[in-house]
Amino acid sequence: MSAHRRRSRVAGRIARHALLVVSAAFALLPFVWMVSLSLKPPDEIFQPDFHLWPKTFHGVENYRVALTAAPMLRFLLNGVFVCAVIFALQLVICVPCAYALAKLRFRGRDTLFSAVLVGLLVPPQALAIPHFVLLYVFGLLDTYAALILPWIISAFGIFLLRQFFRSIPDEIIHAARLDGLGEFEIIWRIMMPMSAPALAAFGIFSVVAHWNDLFWPLIAVRSEDISTPALGILLFRDDEAGQFLGPLMAGATIIVAPLLLAFLFAQRRFIDGLATTAMK
């Protein structure tokens, strides 16, 4: 019986790992294919035979065109600036809100948390017209403010941090109050350092969402000088997208690479933050 159980466990592990490998392959295939196309000359891209490595290496030319045909560095800097400011302002707003919902007792707290949950159900596209009208009224269209202000309040960030804050013992909060710390001092000096995994997880979600966002910048921005990476990549399009497909894939690779590097550096805290939040 024990041998049968061991064989069953081994078979189960093999099946799980096989499923993970297949899922990872499907997830990575578009990225691998994108990198492959960025290294090929135009005549190889549309050939019917399948090969990842190009017969004639054309990567240097494709990446040179990607970096010179459009101000790619400017797009990347715009993306870094916009994502950093959005995330910083989200922390300023979301962390106190999450702390209040997790650790303070006041009338209407559950109602406010229900409103946060409702906010999670509203797609960002549904708010595009109200945001556009408000920014137009205040004359903020085609500015960095138009890219930043609509996203500084994150229902997802409040929910994620609130769930993490609930896992922190109340005794720590009470001890800090006995030491004379105010609520905001508790938030910034105690809760923030203890919440590094949750903040890393939220940061990755926030940065990826706004780095890859094309819908809103396409509506709010017209100037090339403040275009984000996803919007800037549209400059590589031509009528048939044939000659520029290699540089287009090279530009897409350049834009995706910072996100991959950021995730590799923060993946441990990202997983820890999600695991701790899921336990609550």
Separation between Cα atoms, residue 31 and residue 208, nearest integer Å = 15
1-32 pLDDT, tens digit each: 466 677 777 777 888 888 988 888 888 888 88
Parent domain of 133:
64-279
Same domain, 8 and 128: no
Mean pLDDT is lowest, of 150-159, 182-191, 243-252, for 243-252
DSSP character for 235?
A: G
Largest CA distance in the chain: 75
Same domain, 126 and 31: no
Same domain, 102 and 54: no
pLDDT of residue 95: 95
Type of residue at 9: R
Domain count, the chain: 2
Same domain, 13 and 83: no
The secondary structure of the chain in percent helix, strand, coil, rounded to multiples of 5, reads 80, 0, 20
Separation between Cα atoms, residue 269 and residue 200, nearest integer Å = 6
pLDDT of residue 89: 97
| Rounded average pLDDT over 202-231 | 91
Q: In this structure, what token pair is assigned to residue 146? A: 């138009």
State the burial class of residue 245 (Cβ atoms within 10 Å of its Cβ: 0-12, 13-18, 19+): buried
Mean pLDDT is lowest, of 66-70, 144-148, 152-156, 173-177, for 66-70
> pLDDT band for position 82 (50/70/90)?
very high
Given 61, 79, 94, the domain boundary residue is: 61
